[in-house]
Amino acid sequence: MKDTDTGAERNLLEVRGLTKIFGSLRACDAVDLTIAKGEIHALLGENGAGKSTLVKMLFGTLEPAAGEILWDGEPVRIASPGEARALGIGMVFQHFSLFEALTAAENIALSLDSDTPISTIAAKAKALSYSYGLPLDPYSLVGDLSVGERQRIEIIRCLLQQPELIILDEPTSVLTPQEADKLFETLERLRGEGKSILYISHRLEEVKRLCDRATVLRHGKVVGHCDPRKETAASLARMMVGSDVHAVVRDPAEGLASAEPLLEVTKLNRKPATPFSIPLRDISVSVRAGEVIGIAGVAGNGQGEFFEAISGEVTQDEADTVRIRGNGVGRLGISGRRMQGAAFVPEERLGHGAAPAMRLSENLLLSRHKTDGKVFLGVANILRFPAVASAAKRINEIMDVRKSAPDPAASALSGGNLQKFIIGRELDRRPAVVVVNQPTWGVDAGAAARIRQSLIELARSGSAVLVISQDLDELFEISDAIAVMHNGELSDPIPIAEATRERLGLLMGGAEPGHQAHEPLEAAR
């Protein structure tokens, strides 16, 4: 598709034939890209398409093998983030780089190449934050701030460097709908001031709303340019994936009112494990056979602590605090709860969901040796490797895990493909209960649809599925009811027919703290 004329003066950034090679993999293959002054330009692509590699070359953390970068019409070499910032390029990463024990101003000072007094930095940060509608207390400890407030620090830190080009990587993944709207207003104001923005997101509706142009990568190559405002989310996804992305189908759940609860959490309390942990207060929730319950909330409101408590990473004093298939498991660890028919998928893929240096088959064995001992371990606990390899192959085929070797190390997979493997590893057991934390965070449209459909199908086959997610679109797509976690408390589940983005957004922001009085779930259905 042809580029759209934005009417901007001239190109601020031009990339010609930019290439980066890792071994036999051409992560970026002769990429061409132009960003005009005063435009918001989307960079789209599947997981592993080359987006991260490209922006790392633009920000000086990777050196290209070939090609050139032109800044304001002049060839430049960007050898470090310091050189990128000096040139006028700023970046806000998806995963924040903030020290929780320091104040906002102290964190900002660490990124500035000057000896400016903290008081001066604090005053400038506060003035700038208020002028852009992102109010910030520069003397607040980062550990005491919400994730949305932490992102404000990252953005203000970037803006204080007075960049001409701002690179944003999945900026709304940790925001409430109201916070995202405020961010969009800020970005539109920056565009009006002549700033350029390179915007990376898997949320295609916000790309359509915000961006002037888009460049689409697939397998390291540019496959198209377009005006996203003239496209549909489906057509953008088709450009990214190379084929149609099938819509997720959620058939109505039948007979839920009489279905037995397979996962029950009753008055779960947990003291904070660290100075920056969130205490859990009287959390109760029940998930029945055939049901998907979604847990919404801005990151950092206790979701991680909640997952640890349900999965058995942290046990409870009373066995009946957590019940699986009617059995009190509160005192059991992860393996004990798995033996009761539960499966768990944590938020962090590498290091938590999978051991990075171990092969996929070894990771499979590591997580299922207790539940699948009769299949994977023979007489005298001798490993039946063909059985393990067969199971790993089956999972890879069902979940369309794309890899460069038959049985690579977990760290060799892209984030989205590793997530597909981890989800598939758990669903392959056909567990009675599944608890998933952030099932598709940072996963491309095609992989996300596959994962979401798998969770729905598992529930409709008679399992209970609990999904913790910061993506409201995802929760509306797969859930039968949605509860909201805020500051360590959980609201009552709201039936999906009664849930709205505005209502959930208010709960996520704490406007209606505590348990809300909703119609009983059984009656509502």
If DSSP codes are grouped into helix, strand and coil, which group holds residue 213? strand
Contacts of 519 (CB under 8 A, 6+ apart): 495, 498
- Between 109 and 275, the more confident residue is 109
Q: Which of 136-145, 301-310, 379-388, 443-452 has the highest mean pLDDT?
A: 301-310
The pLDDT of 24-32, averaged and rounded, is 91
Q: Is 50 exceeded by the pLDDT of residue 113?
A: yes
Confidence class for position 222, pLDDT limits 50, 70, 90: very high
What the block records as the tokens of 157 is 């830190």
Confidence class for position 442, pLDDT limits 50, 70, 90: low
- Between 150 and 8, the more confident residue is 150
Q: Is 70 exceeded by the pLDDT of residue 518?
A: no
Please tell me the distance from the alpha carbon of residue 136 to that of residue 129, in angstroms, as a whole number.
6
> What integer pLDDT is reported at residue 329 of this predicted model?
98
Question: CB of 47 within 8 A of CB of 444?
Answer: yes
> What integer pLDDT is reported at residue 6 of this predicted model?
45
- Between 202 and 426, the more confident residue is 426
Domain span(s) for CATH 3.40.50.300 in the chain = 11-241, 257-341+432-518
Phi-psi region for residue 38, left (φ > 0), alpha (ψ -120 to 50) or beta?
Answer: left
> What integer pLDDT is reported at residue 177 of this predicted model?
77
Question: CB of 370 within 8 A of CB of 357?
Answer: no
Parallel/antiparallel/unpaired status of strands 464-468 and 433-437: parallel
Cα-based angle 29, 30, 31 (whole degrees, multiple of 5): 95
User: Three-state SS across 405-424?
Assistant: CCCCEHHHCCHHHHHHHHHH
**DSSP character at residue 354:** B
- The percent of residues above 70 in pLDDT, for the chain, comes to 94
The amino acid that residue 295 corresponds to is I
Of the candidates 455, 444, 427, 419, which has an alpha carbon nearest to the alpha carbon of residue 346?
A: 419
Q: Which of 69-78, 341-350, 515-524 has the highest mean pLDDT?
A: 69-78
User: Three-state SS across 49-103?
Assistant: CCHHHHHHHHCCCCCCCEEEEEECCEEECCCCHHHHHHHCEEEECCCCCCCCCCE
> What integer pLDDT is reported at residue 485 of this predicted model?
95
What the block records as the tokens of 5 is 């004329």
Please tell me the distance from the alpha carbon of residue 35 to that of residue 15, in angstroms, as a whole number.
9
For residue 140, how many other CB atoms are within 10 A of its CB?
Answer: 14
Helix axes 415-427, 385-398, angle to 10 degrees: 120
For residue 34, how many other CB atoms are within 10 A of its CB?
Answer: 18
Q: Which CATH superfamily is domain 11-241 in?
A: P-loop containing nucleotide triphosphate hydrolases (3.40.50.300)
Q: Is 60 exceeded by the pLDDT of residue 9?
A: no
Question: CB of 241 within 8 A of CB of 262?
Answer: no
Domain 257-341+432-518 class in CATH: alpha beta
Q: How confident is the model over 399-419, as pLDDT tens digits?
A: 888 787 889 999 888 777 898
Lowest mean pLDDT among 124-128, 179-183, 322-326, 486-490: 179-183
Of the candidates 404, 419, 367, 402, which has an alpha carbon nearest to the alpha carbon of residue 388?
A: 367
| φ and ψ at residue 74, rounded to 5 degrees | -110, 135
Distances (CA, A) of 242 to 207, 219, 237, 502: 19, 10, 8, 34
- The percent of residues above 90 in pLDDT, for the chain, comes to 63
